[in-house]
């Protein structure tokens, strides 16, 4: 199986190519779909994080074969590429391979603090920095993303990247509380180059209590004049 792969389905709305260096993710998000895809438990997914076998040898070969390919490679859909110091080191190694082979990368993380050490690399290569931020409330963050870094750190990292002239994007998905998501737009709209906004799926209790049409209207109002993409799941609520 290739390390750099073409995602399928909804993930293609985010990136034409992607790469996962490790299996597992210590952030332990309540809404994470990865354990079910990988046929494992939430606990094992969170606690048994390991580097994929022979990953860097294989990545080196694939990157050389793709040398100069302009399609974006997202790190990562199935894990957080800056979830810990150790995983951040793996990511740094991969970024060096991508850079040496003139490939095009975007990172997506909830750990902006660790990612910020690679901002000079992102800046030098014109790569993108993305962060998933769906709440303003730290209480909700602790409930839904118990192992992930605080919201303040993510906000600070987006502002820092923007200040360095790096293309920044925010993934606003899943949406658990529309008010919380709109608060993030309000706080960060002058620091984010591009927004990707979706809804929540596979969580009927939350999904049913939200007026998605109203949320879509409010998002478009809040992002008037800004660059954004409404994911297909939310787009279908347009009147």
Closest CB 140 distance from ligand SF4, rounded Å: 14
Closest CB 215 distance from ligand SF4, rounded Å: 21
Nearer to ligand SF4, 66 or 108 (CB): 108
Handedness of CA 33, 35, 38, 41 (dihedral sign): negative
Closest CB 69 distance from ligand SF4, rounded Å: 25
- Residue range at the interface with ligand SF4 (CB under 6 A); choices 15-23, 28-36, 191-199, 217-225: 28-36
Cα gap 174→30, rounded to integer Å:
11
Element (H, E) at 222: helix 212-222
Closest CB 46 distance from ligand SF4, rounded Å: 7
**Residues with Cβ within 8 Å of residue 204, at least 6 apart in sequence:** none
Beta strands in 39-188 (DSSP E): 50-51, 72-75, 104-109, 128-132, 167-172
CA 194 → CA 79, 110, 152, distances in Å? 22, 17, 19
**Per rule CB under 6 A, is residue 154 in the interface with ligand SF4?**
no
- Residue range at the interface with ligand SF4 (CB under 6 A); choices 11-19, 22-30, 91-99, 189-197: 22-30
Cα gap 53→175, rounded to integer Å:
34
- Residue range at the interface with ligand SF4 (CB under 6 A); choices 26-34, 115-123, 133-141, 154-162: 26-34
**Per rule CB under 6 A, is residue 32 in the interface with ligand SF4?**
yes
**Per rule CB under 6 A, is residue 34 in the interface with ligand SF4?**
yes
Closest CB 155 distance from ligand SF4, rounded Å: 17
The footprint of ligand SF4 on this chain (CB under 6 A) covers a number of residues equal to: 9
**Residues numbered 170-209 forming contacts with ligand SF4, rule: CB under 6 A:** none
Residue 147 DSSP class: T
Nearer to ligand SF4, 148 or 216 (CB): 148
Which of 210, 184, 211, 203 has its CA nearest to residue 195? Answer: 184
Nearer to ligand SF4, 128 or 154 (CB): 154
Cα gap 211→213, rounded to integer Å:
6
């Amino acid at each position: 199986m290739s390390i750099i792969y073409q995602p399928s389905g909804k993930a293609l709305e985010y990136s034409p190519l992607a790469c996962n260096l490790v299996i597992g993710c210590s952030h332990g998000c309540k809404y994470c779909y990865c354990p079910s895809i990988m046929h494992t438990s939430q606990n094992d997914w969170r606690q048994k994080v390991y580097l994929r076998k022979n990953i860097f040898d294989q990545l080196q070969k694939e990157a050389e074969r793709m040398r100069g390919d302009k399609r974006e490679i997202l790190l990562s859909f199935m894990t957080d590429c800056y979830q810990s110091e150790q995983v951040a080191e793996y990511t740094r190694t991969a970024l060096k391979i991508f850079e040496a082979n003139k490939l095009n990368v975007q990172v997506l993380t909830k750990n902006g603090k660790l990612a910020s050490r690679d901002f000079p690399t992102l800046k030098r290569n014109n790569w993108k920095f993305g962060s998933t931020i769906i709440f303003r409330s730290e209480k909700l963050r602790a409930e839904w993303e118990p192992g992930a870094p605080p919201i303040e750190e993510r906000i600070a990292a987006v502002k820092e990247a923007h200040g360095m002239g790096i293309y920044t994007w925010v993934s606003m998905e899943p949406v658990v509380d529309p008010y919380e998501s709109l608060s993030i737009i309000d706080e960060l709209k002058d620091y984010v180059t591009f927004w990707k906004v979706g809804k929540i799926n596979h969580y009927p209790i939350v999904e049913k209590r939200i007026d998605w049409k109203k949320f879509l209207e409010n998002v478009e109002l809040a992002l008037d004049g800004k660059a954004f993409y409404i994911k297909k799941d939310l787009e279908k609520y347009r009147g």
